Amino acid sequence: MSIADVLRAFKKHWVTEIILFCVAIGVTAGRTSAMPTMYTAQSEVLVQASPVSDDLASAQQAMPASAQVAVASMCPDIVKSDAVLKPVIDNLGLHATVSDLRSKIGAVTSDASTVIQLTATYSDSEDSAKIVDELTSQLEKQLQKIYTSLRVSLSVVQKPVVPSAPSSPNVIANYGIGIAAGIVLALIGAVIREMSDKDINEAADVQAITSTPILAAVPKSHTVADGTPAVIVKPRGRAAEEIRRLSTNLSFVTPSDLNQPNVIIVTSSNPREGKTTISVNLAVALAERGKSVLLIDADVRHPSVAKTIGMNSGVGLVSLLAGEISAKEAIQPYWKPYLHVLPSENQKESSGIILGSDAMRALIDQAAERYDYVIVDTAPMTVANDAAVFAKHGGVLVMVVGQGVAQKKAVHETFKEFNMSHTPVRGIVLNMASSDNAKRSGYYYYEDASDQKNHNSSGKSHSHKKHN
């Protein structure tokens, strides 16, 4: 996964990121509020030790400094002993056990130093200061019992002060950690979501697989209504305008030196991505401009053109290639006198031989000379590589990708196969696209707005043919 893919995942899955971030902050808030409020008081005491002598001044001078440091170094362990803590609990009347209090106090001394820092953390601010005072007193008593040959005393260098603010929970630090954890969790969640998402859900998913331009983003609804293409039944709707955009953009991606640039080969990676409806609407859009068009249903394993537009498919491409009927009998006019359709009959056996035959090649060559445009609706690439066979001799290869239907792996494998056969895909049509992917303002699509208004008032919607 490249950096660009990661950044795209962050942008794409922003809802997931917000949810995970809020969860992290919520957990932080819950844990922080559940933590008891504690107060910390501290003091510093100086350890002084000298041999037992009537002459105190001479005794202190005779006491090596290293011996006093040795006594001070033992204090952190002694202060946590039961002999010190038990009297502290009893004298102050604390509701705590010895082990409880042991976890709440601390004693630290630096190397070669006789100064000890005593700390106590307790739920009551005044009690925390009292505990430090009592610890000092009990520690001094215990030292005197342990070192009987020495005169040991503790001098308070810094008295404990009753804390005015709690030492824990540290709300700022906790929320800082929570925010950092939330950001990391959100980013990891976005990456995992992207890696586990197998479907094409937006144009960026296609662009992450291939640099082939997206020529149009046709919306999910109104592509074919009651057997009539959107370009006819809703000429001012969003779908119709996107199909017209496709017909225009095709001229921009067609090389001037391409063999048979007027032959448009339409395919998809998987079934049900809407390649047939795109082929039908594209043929109508070109005919709308006054161009002569022949639409050939070359998906002989599962022919759908005739069914999509309500045309008779008793005879067609297979019979024509077999020499059983003439072109005049097989080709049928539709909508305009110069828009012709060559449907296909169901042919499950030897279909590859039929489409790869010399007769099929001759048919396309003749049609390319007679018509301004020839549109060939072929089988999905996961079914057969007929599109590559047709495009090998020329023509503009267009791939339809159905949003929410196409799978990333299938699209990737399809482009891999085209690259292997040196068959360039000239453009992509994102079909069944959401309004975000279409990126067109709905203000100009008057018929779409009218249809929506009628739909809301009547509670009924048009029935649509199934995409193929």
- Rounded to an integer, the average pLDDT of 401-423 is 94
What is the H or E stretch that residue 281 is in?
Answer: helix 275-288
Contact residues for 147 (Cβ-Cβ < 8 A; gap 6+):
49, 71
Please indicate whether the domains covering 39-51+58-158 and 203-441 agree at the CATH topology level. Answer: no
Report the range out of 26-40, 284-298, 346-360, 447-461 with the highest average pLDDT. 284-298
pLDDT tens digit sequence for 155-176: 899 999 999 989 988 889 999 9
* Domain 39-51+58-158 CATH (choose: 3.30.465.10, 3.40.50.150, 3.60.21.10, 3.30.70.1130): 3.30.70.1130
Q: Return all residues near 172 (Cβ < 8 A) that are at least 6 apart.
A: none
Asked if 227 contacts 308 with a C-beta cutoff of 8 angstroms, the reply is: yes
Q: For the residues 304-327, what does the mean pLDDT come to?
A: 89
- Using CA atoms, how far residue 110 sits from 133, 140, 424, in Å, is 21, 19, 76
Distance CA 153, CA 328 (A): 120
Top CATH class, 203-441: alpha beta
Q: Report the distance separating Cα 231 and Cα 373, nearest Å.
A: 17
Confidence of residue 56 (pLDDT cuts 50, 70, 90): low
Taking only the tens place, the pLDDT of each residue in 88-121 is: 999 999 999 999 999 999 999 887 788 999 999 9
Structure tokens at 344: 């296909």
Q: What angle do CA 82, 83, 88 make, to 5 degrees?
A: 85
Mean pLDDT of 344-358: 72
**What is the gyration radius of the CA atoms in the chain, in angstroms?**
42
pLDDT over 90 (residue 222): no
Give the pLDDT of residue 285.
97
Mean pLDDT to the nearest integer, 168-196 = 87
Domain ranges of the chain: 3-35+169-196, 39-51+58-158, 203-441
Query: Whole-structure pTM over 0.75, yes or no?
Result: no
